[in-house]
Chains A and B, each alone.
Chain A
Amino acid sequence: MPDVCKAPAAADALLEEERFQALSSGEAKIVEAAASRIFPTTDTPGAAEAGVVHYIDRTLKEIYPKQIASYREGCAALERNAKETFGRQFTELAPDQQDKILSAFEKGTASGLADASEFFALLRKHTMEGMFCEPMYGGNRGLVGWRLVGFPGQQFGYEDPYINRVVDLEPIAHEMPFSQQEALDGRKS
């Protein structure tokens, strides 16, 4: 496995240094813990290292403010289920206990949240987007998501068809947020 796939330093540091805009810091910790079970850190980086929670927070703040309420209720329900089932906070549970709670959400059998499976689906969708998005959206930090699966990002093109060969190119990300590109065009936003 190439070096780039090794898990970088703990993600807690990331959590600490940035403030959240849509989620409370308590909710952010729950979301991060849940995302880390959906796409866990193993011998390679996962949702924590990719900064998925930051993708989610920014997406909620900037694009889908109506979904903040779903996260608010969803996090509260995760917490309640953790307490009811295991007597502890969700973030303090062992990974397999967290998995049990999340499975119940996925199946819609968790208590106290009518659309638990919908919330799980949303959380999963956002987690995967945060793994593989352009870093300018807040996730895929250090391009860990792309490096993990072998996707080299925004190559201008490929001179070689790479038939049955690993693509050995350094991944490329967008350097400029979309809003700035619009300004370059002279187009009103």
Chain B
Amino acid sequence: MAARADVVLVGIGAVGGILASELTAAGLKVVGLERGESPPYSDYALKDAVHAIVRHALHDSARHEPIARRDKEGENTRRRPVSSPTNQVGGALNRWTGQSNRFAPGDFKVFTQEIASGLAERAGASLEGYNVADWPIGYDDLEPYYTKYEYEMGITGADGENPFAGPRSKRFPMPPLRDTAKFVLFRDACRNLGYHPYRTPNGILSQRYKPPMPYAQGIPERPGCVYCGHCNNYGCHVHAKASTLYTHVPAALDSGNLDLRTRCKVFRINTSPDGKVTGVSYFDPAGTVQEQRASVVILGGYLYENVRLLLLSRSEASVHASGLGNTHGLVGQHIMAHEDVRVSGIFDDQIINGFIGPGSVGGRIDDFNSNNFDHTKLGFIRGATIGTSGSGTPIERYNIVPRGMPRWGADYKKYLTRYYTRSFDLNMQPETLPHKDNYVDLHPTECDAWGIPLPRVTFSLHENEQRMHRFLAGEGEKIMQATGAAKVWSAFSKRGSRWAGGTRMGTDPSNSVVNDKCQVHGIDNLFVMGASVFPTMAGYPPTATVAALTYRAADFIRSQNALFH
């Protein structure tokens, strides 16, 4: 059996990569177990839509790790190769879009500010079945860690452009990416309508960058984006798009304190009879069961896997009969996901060339996000950020067709020929609130290639989201009309993305799984990190907040000598 480590990390994605750098820098001996490979350049940097998108589900990194998905209890499940995590060192950051907003101060206090305050009632919102809780921390607690994330990853943005954003202690480390045709149209339309467009903060370098002191000096210098446009869902061939694969993992390896083991799949967290965590069991690349003991175990396997491991690690004989951290049956509850609203427009007098540059380069408004607008009588609370998207190679865009337009034949061909370069979309990330009918548990009969029960995800939108989406589609269409588009239409995605919840954080163990340091209630040496700890998910993508929470928890862990004797 291998020597006991100070820390074992389960998964080396965004969370695991940051932790590896943070904890090894403090001299801790860290074992990193990642079920995927450390992908070769030719794999993640490939600019090929058939390989990266059409056939992604067939790749080793996806097909061995399906989830079982259904909308409602009682339905049969379908296997889904999940788009995230990506099952590689670097995790989903090897393919992410890069949009990098911080949450706004109000996003942490939805219960107090919108439900207890009576605002939901004035809005006429129907919140039956929802179970909304405040975060145990606020924006100010995370602000220094957002800054650290922005300086280590290299986040671009324009200071002071978004009046709804929280206060910043430091400027963005870099100016925004260059303007695009769709941004100019969007910005002008929003200004005309009285909204507040800002350039999207991005995890994509606008120029050559290396983190300055006092940030981790082991993070290599990287070049700026060259606007190749094969970005969202692809890896970056010049390493301008941040991934721990080439930021934090090299820094951690340099320290000599990281023992990184790839193709090692953790299937159980081990505990002693008194309930303390002693380490993990995993399959090594040969499929042999191995054990790694450690003083501290940290799960960073993304929410499906974080939940699954806690549930799989139940032990009848101990206090953990229903799973780790699951005394109150909360593991897997309160999951959330954005189901995006898309508004598309085509132009007769504008050439957009949306295939140039990252999908996330462009602009957004927060005028319809959070509690930034008057919800009186709208029938729902919360909202979404609205912004430009619509990059993509022809394979990614041939299905974006106005209602009423045939989808094949000569007229369809004429449409695609004329408008492929003359179109763009608005996307939105509408906040979903935790609802009792949305959860992850273990599939009772279906297993993965290792014979381990699949995570079963039961999820659909409820009244608050449905009303919100209809409202947002209408506002989005108004904005698109104001850009001068010749034709405007909207569509609702039914595929959840940017999942959150399942191990939510809170102060009260009867209503949460981890505390504000991501430490499992009642098990001092077990931590769970990632968006699974979010009590609410905001109308923004998660990664900046995931990273800030991770840095904050790392600070705490490094200060707890008692964990390591």
Contact = CB atoms under 8 A, between A and B. Distances in A.
Interface in B343-384: 350-351, 353, 355-357
A156 B40 contact: no
Contacts of B394: 131-132, 145-146, 149, 151
Nearest to B180: A161
Interface stretch (B17-25, B93-101, B224-232, B466-474): B224-232
Contacts of B413: 39-40, 42, 44, 46
B449 interface: no
Interface stretch (A9-17, A79-87, A176-184): A176-184
Contact of B356 (A63, A148, A161): A161
A17 to B, nearest CB: 23
A157 B227 contact: yes
Chain B binding surface, main DSSP class: loop
B181 A132 contact: no
A162 B410 contact: no
Nearest to B182: A163
A76 interface: no
B194 interface: no
Contacts of A167: 353, 356, 421
B48 A134 contact: yes
A99 B409 contact: yes
A161 B181 contact: yes
Interface residues of A, number: 45
A162 B50 contact: no
B416 interface: yes
B224 to A, nearest CB: 10
Contacts of B420: 149-151
Contact of B353 (A39, A134, A162): A162
Contact of A157 (B228, B351, B410, B412): B228
B395 A128 contact: yes
Contacts of A42: 410, 413-414
Given A133-B395, A187-B40, A37 B357 contact: no
Interface in A82-112: 99, 102, 106
A128 B50 CA distance: 11
Interface of B: 40-43, 46-51, 54-55, 58, 178-181, 184, 225-230, 237-238, 350-351, 353, 355-357, 393-395, 398, 407-410, 412-414, 416-417, 420-421
Interface of A: 37-40, 42, 44, 46, 63, 99, 102, 106, 124, 127-129, 131-134, 137, 145-146, 148-151, 154-158, 161-167, 174, 178, 181-182, 184-185, 187
10 tightest Cβ-Cβ pairs between the two chains A and B: A157-B226, A149-B420, A181-B42, A185-B40, A132-B394, A38-B408, A163-B181, A150-B421, A158-B227, A128-B398
